Amino acid sequence: ADCSPMGSRYAEDSAVPKGGGRYAVGKPYYANGRIYAPAEDPTYRAEGIASWYGPDFHGGRTANGERYDMHGISAAHPTLPLPSYARVTNLDNGRSIIVRVNNRGPFVRNRVLDLSTGAAKALDIYGYGLAHVRVEYVGPAPLEGSDDKMLLATLREGTPAPAPSQVMVASAKPFLPKATEAKAQ
């Protein structure tokens, strides 16, 4: 992944601020002996090896300026728009989840994606280090706020993860009508 371990001021168990990045597709670039050409391709689909990255980068800046959160549901991809959503399916066990693509990488031959620790755990890749995956572009992601709860709710076993707009997430904050709220105080 592209975020620098230098400048990371966050311990592994520390919360990392969400948002603050910028939209980027980017120009072609050279990394590790290869040329990569970022593009928005609604039909993008690839299969290959996924790896994961974690503590050394926790809190560092990603390629689009967000802070990397190793516990979040995110990934690094060499050419997808930043930030965007991608469906990742672990072809070894059938687990599928939507991840937030907010970084560039991996720059290792035959690897198609570098997952955050949180995404790797959700897909049951964490203990293995590598897995055979399918990656499918879903669409652009918003810049602000945290989408981790919504993305974790897309996790499926044996069926493709639904696009984020088709996922409902319960809030921990109870709904109280205004009249009830006033009486409670």
Show pLDDT as tens, one digit a residue, over the chain (185 residues): 545 444 456 666 666 667 778 899 989 999 999 999 999 999 999 999 999 998 888 888 999 999 999 999 999 999 999 999 999 999 999 999 999 999 999 999 889 999 999 999 999 999 999 999 999 999 999 988 788 889 999 999 998 998 877 555 554 444 445 454 445 45
pLDDT value of position 2: 45
pLDDT value of position 5: 47
Tell me how far apart the alpha carbons of residues 131 and 160 are, in angstroms, rounded to a whole number: 17
CATH superfamily of 29-164: RlpA-like domain (2.40.40.10)
Tell me how far apart the alpha carbons of residues 80 and 140 are, in angstroms, rounded to a whole number: 10
74-76 and 95-103 beta bridge pairing: parallel
Q: Shortest CA distance to 86 belongs to which of 30, 17, 49, 135?
A: 135
pLDDT value of position 175: 46
pLDDT value of position 6: 41
